[in-house]
Structure 1
C-alpha cells in the first residue's frame, strides 16, 4: 500500500484566501523551513517523506523517529480505527503528560501547525529549542494550560501566525478555497502510541509503543484510515527524525 508524496495544500475546513491561518503544503521542505524558523536548530531534527508502508520503505526512513505526521482526506463521520480509546477527563495524569492542542474554529486551517506543535511538544526532551525562540516561549507559556486554553493562546500568537503564513506561502501549490485534507500527528509517550488530532476532544490511545518501534507501530492505524477512505489517493506521510551527530 503506497503513500504517494503530496503537494496538496491541506487543512480541515474550507479555506478562505488571505485568512490568518491558510493551509500548509504537505512536504518536508515546507515543514523543515517552518520548524527551523520557529527555533529548532537545523542540525537537530528534520522532516522526511515516507514513501510506503512496506518493510523496505520503512527501513529507508532516518532514525530515530520522534513523531509521525499524516496528511489525509477528511474521513467519513462514522470512521473508526483499531484499538482507539479517547482519553477521558478522569485520566488526569496521562492528560498532563501528553501535549495536546484543540483546533478551535478561529484557527481555521491551522491543522498543519497544530500537528507540528504536537510533534515537537511531545518530543521536547529530545529537541534542543533555541532559548527564547518562538517555540521555546510558546511551550513555556502553554505548559500548564488545558488544550482549549492552548488553542486560544495560539490563535492570538501573532509571531506564530506570521511564521505559519510564511510557511504557507513557501509551498509550490497555489492556495485553493476548497480544502479537503487534514493533518494528524502520532507520538509515543511513556510507552503508549497516541494519535493527536486537534479536531477530536483529546489524545487517542492506540496501544503499546516505544521510541524504537514508533513508525512500525503506527502502520496498522494508518492502513485502517486508508481503508476507511478507499476512493482517494491523497495521503502523505512524514516523520520528524532526530539527526545523528
Structure 2
C-alpha cells in the first residue's frame, strides 16, 4: 500500500461520516452509530442500506478460515481497493454508498461522475481514481482534527501501535457481501435467508461470529449504519398530514413521526457544530491562555504536576523493561 500522500486519519463518528456524504453531494442518507447488534436497534433505523464496521486490524489471516468466500456479484456492483494509507474510512463508505440502488438516494454530481467514470475499471484502478480525486481528498481531510504543527506526516508506524480498519456489509442482489478494500474482491456470505429485506439479520450473525474470533474482553469495535431513515420519516409525515386526521391512531402516529424527525434534526445540528469545532485550530487560544497564565505566575503548579507525571511514566516504562530517555 502506498503512503498516505496527504490523506488524514478519520474518526469513526456518525457526524463525520454523515458530513462527509453530505459535502460530497449525497442526499437521502445519514449515518447512525449502533451501540449493539440487537434486531430492534437496527429496525429502528430502517431503511438500513449498509453497515460500516471498524475493528482492530490483525492481518489478513488464514484464507482457509475466512468467513465467506471471495466472489464477484452476479449483477452490477462497485468495489474499490484501498491503495493508500488512511483512506480506509472513505473507501468503505464509498464502497457502500455506490452500491445503494434506491430512488430516494441521490449521489450528487461528484459521486455520479465517479461511478460513471469507473464503469469497466478494475478495483485497484478504482481505488487510485478515488485517491487521486482532489474533491474527495479535500472533503475527507476537512474532517480531520486540526493539527497546526503537522509533525507526524511521515512518522513510521510503531510496531506496538494498534491499527484499525473499516469495511462495509450490504446486500448486493440476493446475497450479503463484505466489501474490504484490502481484499482482492468482495466476500460473499451467501444468499440471504428470507430475502433481501432480511439482510440485517444475516449481517448481525456474521458480525457476531467475527467479533467472537477476538480475545474475550476486546471492545475496540465500532458499528455504523448507513440509513435513509430521515427521508422515510419525511415521506411518512407527508402521508399522515394528507390523511384523515380525525382518527386517534393517525394523531398518535403524527406525534411519533414528528418527535423522531425532530430528534434527527437536532442531532444533525449538533453534528454540524461538532464538525465545526473539529476543524478549528485552537493553537492561538491556547497560546494566549498560556501567555496570560505565565504573566500571572499561575503556571508553576501545572509545571510541577507535569514533571511528576513524566517521572511516573518513566518509572513505569523501566519496570516493564522498556528503555526511555528523560527527553521522551
Is the shorter-chain TM-score for this pair beyond 0.5, marking a shared fold? Answer: yes
Question: What CA distance in whole angstroms lies between the structure 2 residues aligned with 1:158 and 1:95?
Answer: 32
Q: How many correspondences in the alignment?
A: 216
Alpha carbons 2:175, 2:189 under 8 Å: kept: yes
What is aligned with 1:160?
A: 136
Aligned residue number for residue 56 of structure 2: 73
Structure 2 length-normalised TM:
0.60
Choose which of 136, 139, 154 in structure 1 pairs with 2:112: 136
After TM superposition, list the pairs within 5 Å mapping 1:1-245 onto structure 2. Answer: 19-41=5-27, 44-60=28-44, 62-78=45-61, 80-82=65-67, 84-87=68-71, 94=73, 97-104=76-83, 107-126=84-103, 127-130=105-108, 132=109, 134-169=110-145, 178=161, 180-209=163-192, 210-230=195-215, 232-242=218-228, 243-244=231-232, 245=235
Give the match's secondary structure for 2:226: strand
Q: Between the two structures, name the one with larger relative contact order (CA 8 Å, sep ≥ 6).
A: 1
Larger radius of gyration: 2
The Cα shift of 1:187 comes to 1.2
Which residue of the partner structure matches residue 8 of structure 1?
none
Partners in 2 of 1:128 and 1:195 — Cα distance? 23
Cα distance in 1 between the residues matched to 2:2 and 2:42: 33
Contact kept in structure 2, 1:15 and 1:22, CA below 8 Å: no
Q: CA 1:147/1:208 → structure 2, altered by over 3 Å: closer, same or farther?
A: same
The structure where helix makes up a greater share of residues is 2
TM-score normalised to structure 1 length: 0.79
Q: Say whether the 8 Å CA contact 2:34–2:223 is kept in structure 1.
A: yes
Counterpart in the other structure of 1:7: none
Q: 1:136 to 1:98 in 2, by over 3 A?
A: closer
Query: Structure 1 CA distance, aligned partners of 2:93 and 2:57?
Result: 18
Unaligned runs of 5+ in 2: 156-160, 236-328
Higher strand share: 1
1:65–1:214 CA contact under 8 A, matched in 2 = no
Cα drift, residue 85 of structure 1: 0.9
The whole-number CA distance in structure 2 between the counterparts of 1:115 and 1:199 is: 10
Tell me how far 1:198 sits from its aligned partner: 0.5
Q: 1:31 to 1:165 in 2, by over 3 A?
A: same
Gaps of 5+ in 1: 1-12
